């Protein structure tokens, strides 16, 4: 009997050890600076609030941590879209002025490999900037560093929240250097084919409600012909 | 007993790693695509939006009854000519397969009508519509970009409003029909195909 107890205790200890090793694995480190953060080229900067209640609309399956906003918005409960969220938000330029409107579709990715430190989300942005045109952005985002450094400490805290300063690049592809693909669809941005990067800055997070204070930022590299017309 | 404990620990580590490796953390639900072959090449896929039940948002300045209730459209003048609608999208079997946005903007001389279809298990499709409608209320636009499964595809999409004539009590007032016509690019798989 005592051998069975030892085996079960050992088994539980092993699973716990494995989970701890995954969370604190020093070999799964941040990628460091993205090439776009240090580019010499012109860059368009667009920021938005990452707190659902500060967006125009945010919806998901209704059972997730982040609650839909406004409260009576249609929820995405059907099987095909249950792991998807949708957001419409005001995009602000580098001076904090309204630059346009952004719509973000995010779906959990089947390429997620927690063993490799990849909690992936496939997301698509559509951004319309009055006077400049529209943009379509395709990217994969890796939420593992965020989960490890913000969400897990918040879950572990007795108050179920986390406060501090966390800044991370979320974009991890499809570009070879971990950048997003950006396509211009109209206006002066028509024909644009370039790279982008989304980063997230979190100051407060609750494991019950999700983001409490957080801001997202999109950096889009502009070729000189477009930059002459509208870079920040 | 210590040996049993160590064996159990190693077994636990192996079980954790094995479980993560064997079972996918994310498994998106898939509906079989209903695609037909176009007579002049390419594939056709039809989607539709039942109005009003699939309408998630209508964002535009000055709406007296916002959808959803409680929606606050930004009062900024810059967004005065922008109207954004969000929908759930259904396939030909009337099953929800994705979500979509339709953006209409009056920007001086340029009218912009853009659709983005997002099908979680497959990818996204970005279509720029022509501002002028064709005969029969049909509007056509080119596939400007796509992600994942749609990335290598070109082609066009049409939109059309079809009013409901069934007269049924719980029937939608109509539907927005979207018909995507995909044309793939030839990508040689190996040198032999080039010969």
pLDDT, tens digit, for every residue of B18-35?
888 888 888 888 888 888
pLDDT confidence band for A87 (50 / 70 / 90)? very high
Q: Kindly state the tokens that stand for B182.
A: 């995909």
Give the per-residue pLDDT at B110.
Answer: 76
Q: For residue A121, give the nearest of A80, A65, A172 by alpha carbon.
A: A172
Question: A177-186, A214-223, B57-66: lowest mean pLDDT where?
Answer: B57-66
Average pLDDT over every residue of A170-182? 91
Ordered by start, the domain boundaries in chain B are: 34-194
| Set of chain B residues whose Cβ sits within 8 Å of the Cβ of A14 | 8-16
Q: Nearest CB to A98: which of B21, B76, B123?
A: B76
Q: Nearest CB to B99: which of A79, A86, A115?
A: A86
Distance from the B193 Cα atom to the nearest Cα atom in chain A, whole angstroms: 27
- The answer to whether the CB atoms of B1 and A6 lie below 8 A apart is yes
What CATH number is given for B34-194 in this structure?
2.40.480
Give the span between the Cα atoms of A193 and A34, in whole angstroms.
18
The pair phi, psi for residue B137, each rounded to 5°, is 75, 10
pLDDT confidence band for A232 (50 / 70 / 90)? very low
Scan residues 126-165 of B and list those with Cβ closer than 8 Å to A: 126, 128, 144-145, 147-148, 151
pLDDT, tens digit, for every residue of A153-171?
999 998 999 999 999 999 9
Long-range contact pairs involving A62-71 (C-beta distance under 8 Å, separation at least 24): A64/A210, A65/A207, A65/A208, A65/A209, A65/A210, A66/A209, A66/A210, A66/A211, A67/A209, A67/A210, A70/B68, A70/B69, A70/B70, A70/B71, A71/B70
Residues above pLDDT 90, as percent of chain B: 53
B190: pLDDT strictly greater than 70: no
Give the per-residue pLDDT at A23.
Answer: 81
Q: Cβ of A210 under 8 Å from any chain B Cβ? A: no
Give the per-residue pLDDT at B188.
Answer: 64
Average pLDDT over every residue of A15-38? 77
Q: Cβ of A109 under 8 Å from any chain B Cβ? A: yes
Give the per-residue pLDDT at A226.
Answer: 56
The pair phi, psi for residue B156, each rounded to 5°, is -145, 170
pLDDT confidence band for A28 (50 / 70 / 90)? confident
Where b means 16+ CB within 10 Å and e means fewer, A22-49 reads beeeeebeeeeebebeeeeebbbbbbbb
pLDDT, tens digit, for every residue of A91-141?
999 999 999 999 999 999 999 988 888 899 999 999 999 999 999 999 999
Q: What is chain B's mean pLDDT, rounded?
A: 88
B156: pLDDT strictly greater than 50: yes
Average pLDDT over every residue of B3-9? 89
Interface test with B, best of A126, A139, A143, A183 (most B CBs within 10 A): A126
Average pLDDT over every residue of A9-31? 82
pTM, 2 dp: 0.90
């Amino acid at each position: 009997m005592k051998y069975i107890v030892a085996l079960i205790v050992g088994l539980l200890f092993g699973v716990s050890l494995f989970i701890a090793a995954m969370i604190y694995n020093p070999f799964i480190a941040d990628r460091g600076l993205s090439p776009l953060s240090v580019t010499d080229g012109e860059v368009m900067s667009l920021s938005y609030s990452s707190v659902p209640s500060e967006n125009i609309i945010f919806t998901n399956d209704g059972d997730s941590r982040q609650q839909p906003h406004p409260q009576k918005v249609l929820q995405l409960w059907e099987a095909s879209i249950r792991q998807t969220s949708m957001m419409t938000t005001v995009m602000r330029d580098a001076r904090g002025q309204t630059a346009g409107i952004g719509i973000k579709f995010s779906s959990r990715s089947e390429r997620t490999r927690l063993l490799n430190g990849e909690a992936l989300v496939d997301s698509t942005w559509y951004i319309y900037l009055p006077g400049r045109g529209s943009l379509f952005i395709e990217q994969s985002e890796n939420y593992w560093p965020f989960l490890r450094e913000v969400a897990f400490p918040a879950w572990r805290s007795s108050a179920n929240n986390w406060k501090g300063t966390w800044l991370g690049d979320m974009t991890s592809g499809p570009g070879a250097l971990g950048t997003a693909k950006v396509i211009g669809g109209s206006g002066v941005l028509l024909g644009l084919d370039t790279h982008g990067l989304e980063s997230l800055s979190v100051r407060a997070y609750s494991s019950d409600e999700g983001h409490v204070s957080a801001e997202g930022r999109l950096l889009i590299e502009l070729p000189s012909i477009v930059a002459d017309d509208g870079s920040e | 007993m210590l040996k049993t404990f160590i064996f159990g620990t190693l077994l636990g580590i192996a079980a954790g790693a094995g479980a993560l490796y064997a079972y996918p953390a994310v498994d998106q639900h898939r509906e079989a695509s209903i695609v037909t072959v176009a007579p002049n090449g390419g594939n056709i896929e039809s989607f539709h939006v039942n109005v009003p039940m699939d309408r998630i948002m209508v964002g535009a300045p000055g709406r007296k009854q916002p959808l959803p209730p409680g929606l606050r459209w930004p009062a900024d003048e810059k967004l005065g000519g922008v109207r954004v609608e969000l929908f759930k999208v259904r396939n030909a079997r009337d099953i929800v397969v994705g979500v979509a946005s339709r953006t209409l903007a009056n920007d001086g001389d340029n009218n912009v009508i853009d659709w983005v279809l997002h099908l979680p298990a497959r990818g996204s499709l970005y279509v720029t519509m022509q501002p002028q409608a064709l005969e029969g209320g049909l509007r056509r636009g080119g596939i400007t970009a796509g992600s994942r499964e749609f990335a290598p595809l070109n082609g066009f999409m049409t939109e059309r409003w079809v009013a409901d004539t069934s007269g049924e009590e719980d029937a939608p007032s109509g539907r927005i029909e979207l018909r995507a016509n995909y044309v793939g690019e030839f990508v040689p798989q190996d040198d032999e195909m080039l010969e």
